[in-house]
Amino acid sequence: MRPDRPDETRGSVGVAAPGSAVAESAWIPDSLGGWVDYAAWLGEEILILVGWFPAPDGEIEFALERDGQLESLDACFESYARSDPPPEDPSPAKVVAVRLLRPPRAASRMGRLAVRSGDRVLTLGPSDLSKSLTDLDTLLLGGLVPLPARDRGRLADFLAGVPRKLGLPVPFETSRALAIARDLLCESPDPVVIASEEPRGLHVDEIFSIDEETFFVRGWLHDREARVVDLRLVSPEGHRVSVFDTLHRFRRPDVEKFYAPAGAEHSTSTGFCARFGTRGPSRLPHGWRVEMTNAEGDRAVTAAPPVIKDPERVRRALLKQLGGETRPAETLLTDHLAPALNRLQTRLMDQVAVAEITEYGATPAAAEISIIVPLYRRLEFLEAQLAQFVHDPAMREVDLIYVLDSPDQADALAISAPQLHDLYRVPFRVVTLDRNGGFSAANNLGVGAARGRLALLLNSDVLPHHPGWLGKMRSFYDETPRIGALGAKLLYEDDTLQHAGMYFDRQPGNDVWLNMHYFKGMPRSLPAANLTRRVPAVTGACVLLERALYEELGGLRGVYVQGDFEDSDLCLRLFERGLASWYLPDAELYHLEGQSYPSAARSLNTRFNAWLHTHLWDETIQEARAAFPYEAMAGGACPPGDGEETEDGGADE
Amino acid sequence: MTHNHPSIVPGGVENYALELYQGVKKAGEFDPVLLARNGPPVSRAAAPHPGTRLSRVNQDEGQLFFHTEGSAFDLFRMTVPDKRLYTQSFRDVLLSYRPDVVHFQHTLFLGVDILREIRNTLPDSAIVYTLHEYLPICHRDGQMLRTMNDRPCMESSPRRCHECFPEISPQAFLARKRFIQSHFELVDLFLAPSRFLVDRYVDWGIPREKLRFEPNGRIRPPEPEPGSIELDDPERPRNRFAFFGQLSPFKGVTVLLEAMKILADEVVTDPRPRVWLHGANLEFRSPEFRREFEEQLDATRERVTMVGRYEPSELPDLMRAIDWVVIPSIWFENSPLVIQEAFMHGRPVICSDIGGMAEKVEDRVSGLHFRAGDPRSLARTIARAARDPELWARLQTGIPEVYWMEDAVKSISAIYRQLMERKRSEAAA
């Protein structure tokens, strides 16, 4: 299939370049020897060529030739050894991927494909190409499958990376085509047999997608004969990634027991998990493979189950990995879980947007304060809050925003919200998110819709103890220089303290800082809890701050899982700027804590969040602790600093 | 306003509501309307006319049914999810009648937030609410009995209520109370038919100045025709006892049977006390209770007669046939109708020494108290009462004057006037 001499008609090859035109004149047409064996489309914008193109100086460029002008095309290639090139030119054969629009989409920009090396060019007209143009399967079977296994694996990996190199998205069809290519090019050895007498075993329990290019794999391996020296994952599209160097390994008593009868003394059976990236997107759930190699070169291969993509399941699995070990290596968190969870959280948070804002009643356009209340699942809290807000004339003056973070309840809320407004006559707005975004996203998007100079974040399970609290918080905030966040006194249902400010503490022998609440469980009237004072941090269940400041800081950080530590993270960012958190006992509210979501999952979330919080803030926390010794706080003394000392707050009943 | 009408199912509160309505109407000063809630589970009738929840009760134009679904009623928070019941249906009623006073006898199946609708739509109307029972205080159907041991409870709090209902968090109980109180705040005056009830609601959080003791008035029975009453033999032994009421655990009927068993087994008295049980609805009780009841009845069959259901009109005759009325309830009771009936017929009452019963029956003056829930104490009391005809005669003379409905109407009319005056001056200011 050597190309003909240039086509007399010099017609179009029906391809069009996406790039900008680069004027070229100094070239010698049709002066480059070489040929195309196969050409095939990979998706709608990539033309794959298999052929021999001599490249005296090692460089080849691809261009579109029109009216004597060359337009440079994005392309990449991979070489491989072949016996049929002319002996005078030892250039290797090549698999080339060129970014071109596939006809008929390209109809508007016609041209001929030009391959250039130095000042020599090979142009390919339609008849040249039509002889070699085929489907991808034929290209692979005829051109690449006969090659030695070493080349095939490399070329499969090259093909998988083509869309990324050309800066193109990978639609589902391209993924499918790549998966077929991988299956044709990479031999699938028989999967390893799992039996206790076998020398090797390899199993993938689960593989999770963090995003399209980041994955988390969990499984176990076993080799009785030699040290394992490599572990690679192969995506359905052909991406080949070694995860061995960063692999987190942990004991699997079940696997150890399984292989024990056959002699365990040399066994290296362990559980493993790893977060890893591919060099391009992988979308296909089926077809992942794992390959293990030991020091003697023995290989074991196994197929992975389908990729789990549901972010909630992925998050649970990641946290479960943390929960599976009492004292996990720091690298499990730093190399695997934290980057994976952060990426997952960020991705989830970036995906969520405001779907709709509905106004019930005339909410004041020029309100001083916006109150942002995320609603998740428990819609009845809205009614419970309105039944208390209704007693407080101040609540008619505020910009009250409910952020619905469980959008599947949007219809139910759209029915009850107007009725509740009609009954309570407290104006409010409902900001409905297009998907569940979590505490941070809900608050941040709520603040994004806010109009007030001040923003008060309020949990839906917080009920005022008596009217007047908001005015007190506002006055105090406005009168206090260098204030960052202002928190209130929060009570349990039996009038004991739920929140009177927060400080940081850790257990002996544990590096992780925990958020502690001052005087938790003490009576409401405890003198020490009735001092207005600066504190290391305040709870996000009820916190007032300037809206501009909140937005400047970027709001609550979404890296923590499901509503935990965002508040102290915010206070620590304020602390870094020299802005203090204050506790105002004069503002009293009930916090019916613990009704928001079940606590089983919560302890794992907290374990991770506490670690992350410490990881991010260790130094600042130490500084904060130096400024707020617990003994001084418990005794009621204000820490040294530039804040103004104020009168005792005291409960006002 | 009430939660039911006697023509659907008779009951103490609904009977009283109807009688008060009739009394106020007869007095002529006000033009009352009786709005009685209708619907499941009390009645199987659906609202008969599309587009309205109202329908007529009978020929009396002043008596109307207000149909609600009932199934969606939230018995915990005492509300309905669909607020259009208030903001549309009830608002229409309010705007049509524009009442000066809205007087509630109950908000069950209506919801406490109905009070807010009145305040929204008719800000100058007075709201009166007669607290006949303890539902707002106690989630256990207002029984004020602890779920674990059926002991009376005087202390409602999120912690205590959560102990009775471990599946409901204490926080939810606080939210419940706050929700109900949010609406109760709109009521101008609460009435309660016993001082005990008043105290319970003061403890619960209603300011005392908003609560007033106002006994339930009784309709004066027609004067009996001369000669229609058989003459009683003053020397006759007073050994006939009767129980009137629901055959339920809370009414203490098994305490009475147990006491009779003790008397049969241990105490030899002459004359021997005999008991008649007037009551029904055993079929609605739990199988365990029914078994216990049947066994006890079987063991005491020589001294206890199970009579069964009775009509209110039969009460005079039934009362004449006995000497003592026994009210062995293990719960506080509100203001039991049976006490008033017994007193109207000159029958001293033997009752538990708690709550509304102990308040209405003065120990050793108009009756005898025994230790609530204690069959031995009741057995001793019955034995003593049966032995001593002079005691009976003395207690009969101690029975207080009946508070007749015409007195109640006068008192309540004065309350209406007073509140209307206050509302007028508030509106003017």
Per-residue model confidence as pLDDT tens digits over A102-134: 776 554 445 678 887 777 777 777 666 777 888
Residues B192-205 have pLDDT tens digits of 999 999 999 999 99
Please state the ipTM of this predicted complex. 0.89
- Arithmetic mean of pLDDT, B302-307: 93
Task: Look at A423 and B120 and tell me if their CB atoms are within 8 Å.
Answer: yes
In whole angstroms, give the CA distance from residue A644 to residue B247.
Answer: 70
Residue B359 has pLDDT above 50, yes or no: yes
Q: Would you call A387 an interface residue with chain B, using a CB distance cutoff of 8 Å?
A: yes
Least Cα separation, residue B185 to chain A (angstroms): 9
Task: Find all residues with CB under 8 Å of B184, minimum gap 6, and list them.
Answer: B112, B115, B129, B136, B190, B206
- Residues A442 and A431: their CA atoms lie apart, in Å, by 9
CB within 8 Å: B158 and A493: yes
Is residue A500 helix, strand or coil?
coil
pLDDT score of A169: 86
Residue among A642, A615, A612, A640 at smallest CA distance from A626: A640
| % of chain B exceeding 70 in pLDDT | 97
Element spanning A8, H or E: none
Which residues partner with A546 through β-bridges?
A454
pLDDT, greater one: B223 or A471: A471
Sign, Cα dihedral of A73, A78, A84, A85: positive
Which residues neighbour A361 within 8 Å (Cβ) at sequence distance 6 or greater? Answer: A421, A425, A426, A427, A428
Distances (CA, A) of B133 to A141, B17, B142, B334, B363: 87, 14, 7, 6, 23
Rounded Cα distance, B245 and B330, in Å:
13
Contact A151, A50 (CB under 8 A): no
The pLDDT confidence band at residue B141, using thresholds 50, 70 and 90, is very high
Tell me the shortest Cα–Cα distance from A496 to chain B, in angstroms. 12
Residue B190, min C-alpha distance to chain A (Å):
20
Predicted local distance difference test score (pLDDT) of residue A9: 35
| Average pLDDT along chain B | 93
Residue pair A442/A405 in contact (Cβ under 8 Å)? The answer is yes
Residues 6+ positions from A121 with CB-CB distance below 8 Å: A27, A28, A29, A30, A31, A32, A65, A114, A115
Q: Exposed e or buried b for every residue in A406-420, given b needs 16+ CB within 10 A?
A: bbebbeebeebbbbb
Asked whether the bond before A464 is cis by omega within 30 degrees of 0, the reply is: no
What does the alpha-carbon distance between residue A55 and residue A89 come to, in Å, rounded to a whole number? 9
Q: What angle do CA B249, B252, B255 make, to 5 degrees?
A: 115
What is the spatial distance between Cα A439 and Cα B289, in angstroms, rounded to a whole number? 50
Per-residue pLDDT tens over the stretch A309-332: 998 899 989 998 988 877 788 899
Q: Is the full-model pTM beyond 0.90?
A: no
Cβ neighbour number for residue B27 with a 10 Å cutoff: 15
pLDDT at A195: 87
Rounded CA separation A632/A647 (Å)? 17
B82, B158, B179: residue with CB nearest A419: B82
**Residue in B77, B113, B174 closest to A493 by CB:** B174
d(CA B274, CA B243): 11
pLDDT on residue B261 = 93
What is the chain A residue with the closest CA to B77?
A384
Structure tokens given for B398: 């101690």
Which of A415, A466, A592, A593 should be substituted to probe chain B, the one whose Cβ sees the most B Cβ atoms within 10 Å?
A: A592
A-interface mutation test, from B182, B184, B186, most A Cβ less than 10 A away: B182
Instruction: Tabulate helix, strand, coil % of chain A (nearest 5).
Output: 30, 30, 40
CB–CB of B273/B267 below 8 Å?
no
Q: What is the 3-state secondary structure (H, E, C) of chain B?
A: CECCCCCCCCCHHHHHHHHHHHHHHHHCCCCCCEEEEECCCCCCCCCCCCCCCEEECCCCCCEEEEECCCCCCECCCCECCCCHHHHHHHHHHHHHHCCCEEEECCCCCCCCCHHHHHHHHCCCCEEEEECCCCCCCCCCCCCCECCCCCCECCCCCHHHHHHHCCCCCHHHHHHHHHHHHHHHCCCCEEEECCHHHHHHHHHHCCCHHHEEECCCCECCCCCCCCCCCCCCCCCCCCCEEEEECCCCHHHCHHHHHHHHHHHHHCCCCCCCCEEEEECCCHHHCCHHHHHHHHHHHHHCCCCEEEEECCCHHHHHHHHHCCCEEEECCCCCCCCCHHHHHHHHCCCCEEEECCHHHHHHCCECCCEEEECCCCHHHHHHHHHHHHHCHHHHHHHHHCCCCCCEHHHHHHHHHHHHHHHHHHHHHHHHC
Token pair of B240 as six digits: 């006939």
Quote the pLDDT of residue A14: 44
Query: Which residues of chain B does A419 touch, with a Cβ-Cβ cutoff of 8 Å?
Result: 82-84, 87
Q: Helices A338-351 and A602-627 sit at what angle, rounded to 10 degrees?
A: 100
Q: For residues B282 and B275, which has the higher predicted lDDT (pLDDT)?
A: B275
With a cut of 70, say whether residue A650 has pLDDT above it.
no
Cα B32 to Cα B54: distance, rounded to the nearest angstrom: 16
CA distance B88 to chain A (A): 10
